[in-house]
Amino acid sequence: MNSLLLENVKIATESIKSHRLRTILTMLIIAFGIMALVGILTAIDSIKGSINENFQMMGSNTFSITNRQMIVLGEGGHNSKNYLSISYNEALEFKKRFSFPGICSLNAWAKGAATLKYREKKTNPNIGLLGIDNNYLRTSGMEIEKGRNFTPHEMTFGSNALIIGSEIATTLFGKTDPVGKIITLNATKYKVVGVLKAKGSSMGFGGDRNCFISLSHLRQKYYRPQMNFTINYMVSNQDIMSPALDEAQGLFRVIRRLTLGEEDNFTITKSDSIAQLLIENLKYVTLAAIIIALITLLGASVGLMNIMLVSVSERTREIGVRKALGANNKTIKNQFLIESVVITELGGILGIIFGISLGNLVSHFTGGSFVVPWIWILVSLFVSLSVGLISGLYPAVKAAKLSPIESLRFE
């Protein structure tokens, strides 16, 4: 039995070699479908891991209070409801009155598209400028790699001190230590006092491309009407997260003077719930990848069936000779099925290699880690096998049913 199987594999390989061009074209079509499946899903797995890693750095015991976004009611938005921003006084009052064990921090965006310059070098105009207090780095899971955090004096008097992300440090200073250097931010001179550890920039959550000023300096230089402040709170123990959320909601309703029955005009969000929401949205990309792969593989299976039918026609006389020498219908059918499977499996392996390479290339640019999707590799090999069996079955049965006498007379 094993010798017969090896013989069929050998015959299938020889047949593939004798029709290289059409075999390669079919393999490439199958490889493209598998590449789409494996590549996109590899990238998605890497992005999921990166999202989880970034939010785990913040910790599952952190929540944020932000203003509620505008809601449009009615056709044309005539009844749209725009919620008030969280003011500095409201945020400060919450920080003073919230009594749960933990750490509270306040922050607000000064600019979303700033440009930093050091001598002849400058960044792209896509640097985020954020005003923070002393606790922000801890509640956001960031760490200082070089230098220090803001001093109490800088926080009180709003000195021109700046903490920069690792990407900014690399762009402006290369391998030179940025701490103590003077850089220009929107025509204002700032002294770099700290550089953050790199966290990666996947999905925009790294902070590597952000820079930070003290909250007091933000209020002195960048304050504007309706500036929106965000409150981050890290409870000391995960077990008290639920009562802390309830207490925070009740306290902030009091601070914003909301009456009983009036809806919240702010939002409280746990850090890990944001990660789960982002990961949940990736399922649509996964579904799209599977649909693209199935459509491509459907086209490949039709092409493969056509090639196998042509192969049966071209090798009719060969089939007659084999039957005359004692080959039965089952042997002929297995021969063509094995040939079909070999083509699809070679295409599947090629697609897996391309897919893993493409997926990890995408994950590299999104700050993710290298991923080998073993489950999807096994799924792809199974799909390739299925395509080979389904596409090769009809041609194999047709070949097996050929009459040996008619086949020998075929020209």
Comparing CA positions, the residue from 230, 157, 236, 166 lying closest to residue 201 is: 166
> How is 9-33 classified by DSSP, letter by letter?
HHHHHHHHHHTHHHHHHHHHHHHHH
Do 288 and 296 contact (CB within 8 A), yes or no? no
User: How many whole angstroms separate alpha carbon 316 and alpha carbon 407?
Assistant: 5
pLDDT, tens digit (0-9, with 9 covering 90-100), for 257-271 = 988 888 888 888 876
Distance CA 220, CA 213 (A): 11
Task: Please report the pLDDT score of residue 354 as a whole number.
Answer: 87
Tokens of 48: 């999921």
Signed CA dihedral, 389, 393, 399, 403: sign only:
positive
How far is residue 283's CA from residue 83's CA, in Å, rounded to a whole number?
A: 31
346 vs 360: CA distance, rounded Å: 21
Please tell me whether residue 159 adopts helix, strand or coil conformation.
coil
Predicted local confidence at residue 280, as pLDDT? 67
What is the rounded CA–CA span in Å between residue 290 and residue 294?
A: 6
Q: How far apart are CA 193 and CA 169, in angstroms?
A: 12
| Residue 77 token pair | 């938005």
For 153, list phi and psi in degrees, rounded to 5: -65, -45
pLDDT at 407: 60
Do residues 106 and 215 touch, judged by C-beta distance below 8 A? Answer: yes
End-to-end CA distance of the chain: 33
Antiparallel, parallel or unpaired: β 161-164 and 182-185: unpaired
Chain center to CA of 109: 25
Distance CA 195, CA 192 (A): 8
The DSSP string of 30-95 is HHHHHHHHHHHHHHHHHHHHHHHHHHHHH-TTEEEEEEPPPB--SGGGTT-B-PPPPPHHHHHHHH
Q: What is the pLDDT of residues 9-68, one digit of tens each?
A: 777 677 777 777 777 877 887 888 788 778 877 877 777 666 666 655 555 678 888 887
Q: DSSP string of 121-138? A: EE--S-EEEEEE-TTHHH
Q: Which of 234, 286, 284 is nearest to 37 (CA)?
A: 286
Q: What is the pTM of this model?
A: 0.56
Cα angle: 280, vertex 52, 372; to 5 degrees: 90
Intervals of the chain under pLDDT 70: 1-5, 8, 12, 48-60, 69-82, 200-207, 271-281, 366-369, 404-411
Q: Cα(158)–Cα(140) distance, rounded to whole angstroms?
A: 22
> Which amino acid appears at position 171 of this protein?
T
Q: How far apart are CA 107 and CA 325, in angstroms?
A: 85
> How crowded is residue 209: how many other Cβ atoms within 10 Å of its Cβ?
18
Reading the block at residue 362, the tokens are 């995408």
Residue given tokens 């599952």 in the structure block: 60
- CB count, 10 Å around CB of 45? 21
